[in-house]
Amino acid sequence: MAGVSSGKSRFMGEINVVPLVDVMLVLLIIFMVTAPMMVQGLDVKLPETDTGALKQSDELLVLTVTREGKLFLDEFPVEVGGLADKLAGITSRKPDTKVYLRADKDVPYGVVVQVMAEARKAGIANLGMVTEPEKVPPPTKKKAS
């Protein structure tokens, strides 16, 4: 009776991957839904220009000027008068910090220049300007006559 089982069950030596795949698919869907919500900064209408994209770095500060003229350092509100001190404190601890200015296109030029002057006072030598890519209309197809 070599082919007859004795009633004892054997352990399966294979890994059941179906629950693992289910969990991974759920996590993938969660990350796909939440990733667009993790955008840094505030919603402003940026001017459009014909420049390349920014290279991302670990040490990055974004100054945002809203349409109402409110100033934010990353997402924290800050007064224009205290901006130089805050930037100087941050850059003294992290000298490789890059600062980018995002200003709504409807903000008066004088406000933008004032923010730039405060950044210059803090010792920021290179201040990047963030813009939107210029929207170029698609070429029109000519009909053959």
Domains of the chain: 48-133 (3.30.420.270)
- What's the rounded mean pLDDT across residues 4-21? 77
Using one digit for the tens of pLDDT, what is the confidence trace for 110-144?
888 898 888 888 888 778 888 777 676 666 766 65
Q: What is the largest CA-CA distance in the chain?
A: 97
Predicted local distance difference test score (pLDDT) of residue 5: 56
% the chain with pLDDT above 70: 72
Residues 6+ apart with CB under 8 A from 108: 69
Q: Is 2's pLDDT higher than 70?
A: no
Neighbours of 71 (CB within 10 A): 20
What confidence category does residue 26 fall into, taking pLDDT thresholds of 50, 70 and 90?
A: very high
- What percent of the chain is helix, strand and coil (3-state, nearest 5)? 30, 15, 50
Helices (H), the chain: 18-34, 83-93, 109-121
Cβ atoms of 78 and 85 closer than 8 Å: no
Predicted local distance difference test score (pLDDT) of residue 39: 59
Predicted local distance difference test score (pLDDT) of residue 84: 86
